[in-house]
Amino acid sequence: MRDDRSVYTKRIDHLRRIAEIDHVLILNGTNIRYLTGFSGGEGALLITPDQVHLLVDGRYTTQASQETTDLKIIEFQNKADAISSLLHNEKVDFVGFEESFITLGEYQKLKDALSGVALKPMSVRLDWLRAVKDAAEITEIKNAIRIAENTLTDLKNLIKPGIRETEIAVELDYQMRRAGAERISFDTIVATGPNTALPHATPGNRRVEAGDFVLIDYGAVFNGYHSDQTRMFCVGTPSDRQQEVYQAVLDAHDRAIAAIREGVTCKEIDGIARSFLEEKGLGKYFSHGTGHGVGLEVHEAPTLSRAKDDKLQSGMVVTVEPGVYFPEVWGIRIEDMVLVGKDGCEMLTAMPNGLVEL
């Protein structure tokens, strides 16, 4: 990504065309990265009709100059004051900003500093622009997935009676880093036995026992782009009920994936997985949405849930992750990532998703 500087110029020009505001202020670190390549995560970006200013504090000046091109880097002592003086130099009356990425406190501080320049919420949503990936972004996502999947494939033999959840989690994290991940996507979930019934379990000291389900939800980051995947293992032979429920979750997952294509709404996809599990009497144990976008953030637009009317578009990368959780007994989640296309979708994750007996 970093070598292809023109991609950032294109994104900024695109934003200029659709923003309908001459001066735009971007404060969200991920959106700044998307538009400039600067990965520091902090700062401000002011886009004017003929210039792009990246405002950073002293910790980031060198990094910003290494990672960006075709923009003016300004080192600030006080961010709000620096934004204010730039805008006053430009003699503008108002500036567009992203209302969903600013706290009330930040807004108030900025408003006070910008005396005479009004803050106007932008109608363009950068998170929606980011939802549709270009070819280079898809390559980075595939790289992140390969690192993660190869690591888990090599590591699964570690899962045997006696090993603690935390030991599996730290080994997975360490090996993903060694394999080239710049970091892990999120706190790795390794849940065993009854802990698999917690959709967001934190790895603890529980030791794997014979007959346990083991749920691993994990991902790697490569050049800023995330992977997110869940795989299930059974230490020994699963019971008939475990096999039956696993198959139901897998069928719900497969049906949702089979329906994914451009133009389908997020809630239709969620409904396909959910109604299938409801038919099997498992609907009330499916306590979260069916999936979400993945990119520069591990959870980003769109959200595949029953409340979302948004339509899928070609180039979106989403997870499909139905789950069934029997409180204090066990749970199952199967999560894969797909690329939305015109007539269907492409599986991005490739590791087999059947129940693995160890």
List residues near Zn ion by CB under 5 A: 217, 228, 319, 335
Question: CA-to-CA distance for 322 and 312, rounded, in angstroms?
Answer: 18
Query: Which strands form 52-57's sheet, in the order they lie side by side?
Result: 72-76, 52-57, 44-47, 24-26, 94-97, 118-121
Closest CB to Zn ion among 34 and 218?
218
Closest CB to Zn ion among 238 and 289?
289
Minimum CB–partner distance for residue 226 and Zn ion (Å): 10
Q: For 327, how many CA atoms within 13 A lie in the half-sphere containing its CB?
A: 2
Question: CA-to-CA distance for 180 and 184, rounded, in angstroms?
Answer: 10
- The residues near 57 (Cβ < 8 Å, ≥ 6 apart) are 42, 43, 75, 76, 77, 79
Closest CB to Zn ion among 96 and 331?
331
Q: Are strands 323-326 and 317-320 parallel, antiparallel or unpaired?
A: unpaired
Closest CB to Zn ion among 137 and 228?
228
Closest CB to Zn ion among 117 and 191?
191
Is residue 19 within a helix (H) or strand (E), and if so which, with residue range? helix 6-19
Closest CB to Zn ion among 21 and 152?
152
Minimum CB–partner distance for residue 334 and Zn ion (Å): 10
Peptide bond before 302: cis, by omega within 30 degrees of 0? yes
Minimum CB–partner distance for residue 285 and Zn ion (Å): 18
Minimum CB–partner distance for residue 19 and Zn ion (Å): 30
Q: Are strands 44-47 and 52-57 parallel, antiparallel or unpaired?
A: antiparallel
Closest CB to Zn ion among 114 and 337?
337
Minimum CB–partner distance for residue 297 and Zn ion (Å): 11
Closest CB to Zn ion among 52 and 249?
249
Minimum CB–partner distance for residue 228 and Zn ion (Å): 4
Q: What tokens does 1 get?
A: 């990504």
Minimum CB–partner distance for residue 88 and Zn ion (Å): 44
Minimum CB–partner distance for residue 229 and Zn ion (Å): 6
CA distances from 105 to 123, 177, 329, 342 (A): 21, 36, 44, 42
Nearest Cα neighbor of 303 from 313, 294, 295, 293 is 293
**Total residues found in the chain within this entry:** 358
Expressed in angstroms, the distance from the first to the final Cα of the chain is 39
Query: Is there a contact between 223 and 143 (Cβ–Cβ < 8 Å)?
Result: yes
